[in-house]
Chain A
Amino acid sequence: MTDFNNSHKEPNYLEYRGKYKGILGWITSTDHKRIGLLYFYSMMFFFLAGVVMGLLMKYELISPGEQIMGAQTYNGLFTLHGLTMIFLFVIPGVAAVFGNFFLPILIGAKDVSFPRLNLMSWYLYIIGAIVVLISQFIGDGPPDTGWTFYAPYSLKTNTNVVAAVTGAFILGFSSILTGLNFIVTMHRLRAPGMGWLRMPLFGWALYGTGWIQLLATPVVGITFLMVIAERLLGIGFFDPAIGGDPILYQHLFWIYSHPAVYIMILPAMGAITEIIPTFARKTIFGYTAIVISSMAIAFVGYFVWGHHMFTSGMSSTSRWVFSLLTFLVAIPSAIKVFNWTATLYKSSINLQTPFYWAIAFVFVFMIGGFSGLVLGSLATDIHVHDTAFVVAHFHYIVFGGTGFAFFGALHYWFPKMFAKVYNFKVANIGLIVFFIGFNMLYFPMFYLGLMGMPRRYYDYLPMFHSANILSTVGSWIMATGLLIIIINLIRARKGSGKEIDDPWDGKTLEWTIPSPPIVENFEQIPEVKHGPYEY
C-alpha cells in the first residue's frame, strides 16, 4: 500500500485485508470486484438449486402418471423453479456478476459511482432471496401460481403468495439500484479519452439494460404491491368479483416482465460481443450498429408486452400492433448476429473454450429467436400458446442465451478474476456434453408443444411419452456436462496460480492490468486513444 511503483507489491482484491478479516471482509466490502464475486457465489447456489428442481420436474415427466410427486407439489416446484431462475439467476445474472466485476475496469474506473449503494443492492438481493425462500416454509404451503402470479388465482389461492411477491418486490429494488449505479458510472467515470463510441460494447449493453431496469421494474413493483394489498387488506384491484380487471394485471405484469427478458439477454449479448473479437483477433464488425441495436432492443422491447396476451382477450388492433412490434424487435437482435458472424469473416480465429461458448450461444440463441417469431405471429401463437413449445422457446433464450453467455463470460474472464487457468480440454468436453444435453432436453419440447402438450402439467397423455423420455434423458446429460464444467472450474480455482495477465491477447482495458486486479484496478487511470478492439 505504500509503494505505488511496484505493481505486484500492490495488494490484489482477493488478498487485500481491510478493517475486517475473512467473510466479514467480503460482506462489508464496497469493492465492485468483491461484490461481483458475492453475487457470483450466491447466484451459483441459487442456480444449482434451480437446476435440481428442473431435474426433479423432468424426472416426474419421464412417463405418464405420477412418478415422484403429485400435482400440487409439481405446481409448487415449477413456481419455485421459475422464481429462483428468473429473479435470482437470469435477471441479475451477467450484469450483476460480470457487470459489477468488469464494467469499471472496462471503462478505466476505480469503482462504480456509488460503491455503498452497490453493496446495498447485494444485500437487498439476499434479503429478497430469503423472503422468497421463507414463502416455501411458512403459512399454508409454497405458492403454486407460477412465477407470473396471474390474478385472480394469485388472489384466491391459499398458498403463501404474499411472501413470494414481497421477495420479488425487494429483488426488483436491488435490480433498479444496480441499473442506476451502472448508468451513472458510465456517464461519470469513463477514463479520459474514452468517448461514448470508444466504450467497450459490454458497457453499451449494460447501459441499455440499466435503462430498462429503471423504467420497467417500478411498474411490476407497484403491481406486486397491489397484489399484496389486495390479499392482505381485501381491497379490490384485480379480482373480477369486486369489479377488478385481471387482464389489467397481465398488462402491468408484462409491461415489466417482457422488458425483463431484455434485462436478461442484453448483458449476455454484450459479453458475447467482448468474446468474439478477442478470439477472432479482429476489430468488431459494425461497432456503431451494435451500439444502436442494443439501444433499439431496449427501446422497442418496452412496447411488445402484449404478445404474451394474444389469447387473453385484447382487441384485434392491439394484437396485430403488438405482433408487428414483436417482429420489429427481432431486427436489432438479428443485426447483432450478423455483426458477430461478419467479425469472424476473414479473421484468424483462436479456437479456445470461451470462443466455443460464444459460438454455441449464437447457435442456441438463433433457435430461440426463430421460435420466438412463431410465437410472435398471431395465427401460430394461438396454436402453441401455453404449450411445451413456449417452454422450449424461452429456455432456448433465457437458458440458452443468458446461461450460455454466463458460462462463456465465466470461462473468458476466469483467468482475470482469479489468476488461475482451468483445464481447457476438460472445459471443452464439459461444454460439448452440456450442449448435447441442452438440445436433447429442450428441442423435443418444441415437438411436444406443436403436438399440443400443455405446459405446467405434471401428467400427460401416452402419445407424448417417447419425446418426453428423450427430454428427460437430455436433462441428465446436461446436468453431467454442468457438473464437469463446475468441477473443472473449482479445481482450477483451488489449483496453484499462474502469473497470467492476458491469456487471450485481449485488447480491452481489463487485459492491460495484472491478474487478479489490484484493489484500485489501475495504478494510474489510463488514457484511451482509440476504440476498444484495435487489432
Chain B
Amino acid sequence: METMTHQHHADAHRDDTASKIGMWLFIFTEILLFGGLFIVYSVYRHMNPVAFHLAHEELSITMGFINTIILLVSSATVAISISAIQKNDRKLTLLMLGITLLLALTFLVNKYFEWGGKFEHGMYPGSELMKNLSNGDMLFFSLYFFMTGLHGVHIIVGMVLLGITLYKVKTGAVNSGRYALLENSGLYWHLVDLIWIFLFPLFYLIH
C-alpha cells in the first residue's frame, strides 16, 4: 500500500466480495422494481379475472415456451462459463459466453416476431385497436407490453454486460484469479432469467 500513488488510490483497492455484495444488493432493487409491477398485475387481474383469462389466449404459448427454454439453457451456459474460468479453461469460458449471447439474441428475435405479429394486427401501445378494447383487455395488454418490454430492456443490458465480460476474458483481464465481473454478469443474467420465469406463467399460462 505504501508505494501506490494517490492517483490510483481509489482504483487500486480491490475487493471481490464487496463487488459481489454490491451486485446482490442491486439485484434486490431490480426484484423490487418488478415487484411493483407484479403488485399492479395482481390487483388488476383480481379486478378483471375473466378478461385476463380471455386476453391471454391471444398469446402464443409455444413462443413463450420456446423462449423459456432458451433462457433456462442460457442460465446453464453462463453457470458453466463461471466454473470453466475457475478451472482456468479460457476456451470453454469463451465458448459458453458466446452461446449465452447467441441464446439471448435468439430470445430477442423470437420476441421481435411475437410483438411484430401483434403490431401487424394493429395491436400496439397507443393504437386505435387498443384504445377500443374493454378495460380488462386494455390492462392486460398494457401490462403485457410494459412488463415484457422492460424485461427485454434487461435482456439487452445483460447482453451488454456479458459482451463486456467476454471481451475481458479474451484480453485476459478476467481470468482464473480475477473473475468477479464474470460472476456478477452471471448473477445479473440469472436475475433476467428468473424474472422471465415469473412472467411466462403470469401472461401465457393463465387458467
Contacts and interface: CB of A to CB of B under 8 A. Distances in A.
Contact of A114 (B9, B18, B28, B150): B18
A114 B142 CA distance: 38
Interface in A467-497: none
A110 B9 CA distance: 9
Interface in A229-261: 229, 233-237, 242-245, 248, 252, 255
Interface residues of B, dominant DSSP: helix
A214 B28 contact: yes
Interface string A206-248: 0000000011111101110110010001111100001111001
Contacts of B141: 235
A519 B10 CA distance: 10
A245 B97 CA distance: 43
A221 B33 contact: yes
A110 B22 contact: no
A19 B131 CA distance: 57
Nearest to A185: B18
A18 interface: yes
Contacts of B150: 225
Interface stretch (B43-51, B170-178, B196-204): B43-51
Contacts of B30: 218
Interface string A179-193: 011011001110000
B6 A244 contact: no
A188 B25 contact: no
A243 B150 CA distance: 22
Interface residues of A, dominant DSSP: helix
A119 to B, nearest CB: 9
Interface string A11-53: 1000010110000000000110000000000000000000000
Interface residues of B, number: 46
B18 A187 contact: yes
B29 A111 contact: no
B11 interface: yes
A9 interface: no
B207 interface: no
A442 B6 CA distance: 48
Interface stretch (B75-83, B111-119, B132-140, B155-163): B132-140
A114 B17 CA distance: 12
B198 to A, nearest CB: 15
B146 A218 contact: no
A279 to B, nearest CB: 34
Size band of the A side of the interface?
35 or more
A111 B125 contact: no
A180 B26 contact: yes
Given A18-B7, A114-B19, A184-B18, 17 more contacts: A30-B10, A110-B9, A113-B15, A115-B11, A180-B25, A183-B21, A184-B25, A216-B32, A218-B32, A218-B33, A219-B32, A219-B36, A234-B126, A234-B130, A242-B139, A243-B48, A520-B9
15 contacts: A16-B6, A30-B11, A114-B22, A116-B10, A180-B29, A181-B22, A184-B18, A215-B32, A216-B32, A226-B40, A233-B125, A234-B130, A235-B142, A244-B139, A519-B6
Interface of A: 1, 4, 11, 16, 18-19, 30-31, 110-111, 113-117, 176, 180-181, 183-184, 187-189, 214-219, 221-223, 225-226, 229, 233-237, 242-245, 248, 252, 255, 519-520
Interface of B: 2, 5-7, 9-11, 13, 15, 17-19, 21-22, 25-26, 28-30, 32-37, 39-40, 43-44, 47-48, 125-126, 130-131, 134-136, 138-139, 141-143, 145-146, 150
